Structures are given as structure tokens and as C-alpha cells.
Amino acid sequence: MATVLTVILNWRTPEMTLRSAEAALTAMQGIEGAITIVDNDSGDGSEEMLRAEVAARGWDRVRVIQSGHNGGFGAGNNVGIRAGLPDGGRPDFVYLLNSDAFPASDAIRILRDYLEADPGLGMAGSFIHGEDGDPHVTCFRFPSVASEFEGGAQTGPITRLLRRHVVPQVIPSQPAAMDWVAGASLMMRQDMLDRIGLFDEGYFLYFEETDLCLRAARGGWRVLYIPQSRVAHIGSVSTGMKGWGRTPTYWFDSRWRYFRKNYGVLTACLATLAVLAGLSVNRLRAAIGNAPRNGGPHHLRDLIRHDLRALLRGIDTRHQPIASPSVSPRTT
């Protein structure tokens, strides 16, 4: 029987993480495998609380490990993936679950069944909804120069003209192929990870799952969005994204790294020029009262400054050389 390793990354949200783990335990009933909680160097007593509560509740399928360094979402999840199953075994599938996400009782099984039935399927993502039931858009196209212009402008005629490049997708009612899906509830085939590698730890936060899905596609693997797998998600509990007053530098870092690494410096520059053109359209419309402004305070200025610095350095903004991991094509 196929085994599943569920990985939950905690950063200073131990109570929420325990709630997520409890929901995952219910959803893992009848499924071989284990749950690993990775404390991402919280430094606030989270690790100790999680260990004590897991022991007190008698959760013998759950273990808590320490990352030792907060390298971000991808790096933290990589710690859990590399650790494997508690008995030292290798899982067939790895299931990533956000610490503020709570799978329905059949959500994990549905993802596993789809992956088990289709050897060419590398990843499967869930239907994500708020606790009020409202759907979250979590299925997407890969970003492109055209999508950067459309996303900046967000105006009817431009969106209609570039409809094949719009990144957020309409949520399908049946399983559908996607370029990439969000990592809040994402199951991945271990065989695929062995060939394409784990998350690129050059991303601190954002674009890491986009990058991984692109590498999967280039390696011949498919990504499927499965709306029958339902997961409630609060969203932005660790990142505080909903309360951003100003776009953080790490978001700009990740965006630049994605384009620079995967498409080259020329495309990265064109993508920046495209979004600047789109944002200029938006600012003009906002000035005459026909649209809200896109982006937070100083977003346009911060984007220009950031990408100019990144371009002049010739390397990504975290001072790591841009290099794509080698991708071994799927042969099955």
C-alpha cells in the first residue's frame, strides 16, 4: 500500500499547527505513513509546546523536528521531506499542508488515489476555501511577460486581449490540469522529487511552488487540480500578508529570481518593464477614478529600485548564483 508523509511547517503558530495536525490525523486514517511537524526555528517556545502536546495527546503517528534555521517556506519543508518517514523509510508521496489549513476527512485520500492511479501525475492540489466556505483561487498559469502586463493593468480590454495569459484560473468543478497550484495543500510524488529535486531554497517565500511546478513540467510531469479534495484555509497567519502595508523585499526577491533563473536576464527585464507599463495604465485609470490602485504604498517605486539593484549585481538578491537544478526527464 502506498505511503504518505504529511509535512506541516510551523513558525510561531503552535496552537494553529496542532489544530492542523489533528485534522491531518483524521484525514490520514486508513493511509500508511506519518505526519512530521517542522518547527522552522521559531525561537518562541513553539517547538517545546508542540513536542509536549504531541506526547500528551498520544499522537504516535506525529513527530516534531527542528529545522535549525528559518530559510523560508521551501527550505523548511525540505527539512521535513529529507527526514523521510520516522522508521527511516521512503514515502511514495509527500503531502504538504499549511499550519493554518485543515483538510476534510477524505481530502488526503483523494489526492493519494489520483496520484496512485496515474504514474504520469507528479503533483495534485486541493480545492482551498476559507472557514466561511468562500473559495480561494489556488490554481494558476505560469507567469510570463504578457501576464505581468495584464496583472499590472487589470483592466477589462487588456484582460480580454490577454485572456490566455491571465495567471489566476477560474476554479474548475472537475479535476483539471494546471501549470501550478498553491502549496497550502499539495501532494507530490517522491519519484518525481528524486528526479527534479526539492524546493529551491533561494526563495524565502513566494514563487517557490511555481518554480517547482515549472521544473516538474520541464521534466515531463503533470500537475492536477482536484476540487473534490477540500481543505479549509485561514491564510496569511504566519506571513501576515493580509495586513501588509508595503510589499516586503522578499516578495520582490522571489519574483526576480523566478524570471531570472528560469527564463534569463533579458526576460526578467522585459517582465519588469511589462508590469511597470501595466501599473502605469492602472495608475492613470485610478487618477481619473475608474479603478482602484494595484499594489501597496510605494509598490511601483520599490519594484523599480529592487530590480535595478538585482540587475546591476548580476546575481539574485540573496547573493546566490542563479542556476537551475538539473532535471532528469521522467522515463515511465
Dihedral sign computed on CA atoms, order 177, 73, 76, 256? positive
Provide the pLDDT for residue 296: 83
Provide the pLDDT for residue 297: 85
Provide the pLDDT for residue 241: 52
Which residues, given as ranges, of the chain have pLDDT below 70?
236-244, 315-332
Give the contacts of 154 (CB within 8 A, at least 6 positions apart): 278, 282, 291, 294
Provide the pLDDT for residue 289: 86
Report domain 3-135+171-237's class: alpha beta
Provide the pLDDT for residue 322: 46
Q: Are 179 and 217 in contact (CB under 8 A)?
A: yes
Provide the pLDDT for residue 328: 43
Q: Each residue of 239-263: pLDDT tens digit? A: 445 555 789 999 999 999 999 999 9
Provide the pLDDT for residue 314: 73
Q: How many residues does the chain have?
A: 332
Question: What burial letters (b/e) apply to 166-187, b meaning 16+ CB within 10 Å?
Answer: bbebebeeebeebbbbbbbbbb
- The whole-angstrom separation of Cα 180 and Cα 139 is 6
Whole-prediction pTM: 0.93
Q: Each residue of 135-161: pLDDT tens digit? A: 999 999 999 999 999 999 999 999 999
Provide the pLDDT for residue 206: 96
230: which strand partners? Answer: 127
